[in-house]
Amino acid sequence: MKRIAITVLAALLLAGCGEASTGYDYVAEPRRVPKPRICSDYTNARQIERNERTGKLSRDDRQWLDMDGDGRYCEEPGVEWKGEQAQ
């Protein structure tokens, strides 16, 4: 009797070790992360600076808007940015 119980227990444990023992493969859902703001979201640098002062820019927003890391948002060196707002 003890031998049968051990055999059944071992069979149950081995059956649970299969790759898709629950009937479906587990796939992690992608995280829903808001997209960072980009230069075409603004018409000029003053709007970006206003949002920064009011705390509306996340760290990712600042990183995307200041690609060069020089503190100037959406501007090329020596050129003032005059963007067009995306619709």
Residues of the chain with confidence (pLDDT) below 70 = 12-24, 76-87
Asked whether residue 59 is domain-assigned, the answer is yes
Examine residue 14 and state whether it is found in any structural domain, yes or no: no
Task: Identify whether 86 is part of a domain.
Answer: yes
In-domain check, residue 45: yes
Total domain count, the chain:
1
Residue 3 in domain: no
Measure the CA–CA gap between 86 and 54, rounded to whole angstroms.
22
* Residue 15 confidence (pLDDT): 62
Whether 9 is covered by a domain: the verdict is: no
CA proximity to 62, closest of 53, 76, 52, 54: 52
Q: Name the residue range of residue 53's domain.
A: 35-87
pLDDT of residue 87: 47
pLDDT at 14: 64
Q: Per the confidence metrics, is the pTM higher than 0.85?
A: no
- Through-space distance between the first and last CA atoms of the chain, rounded to whole angstroms: 76
pLDDT on residue 54: 93
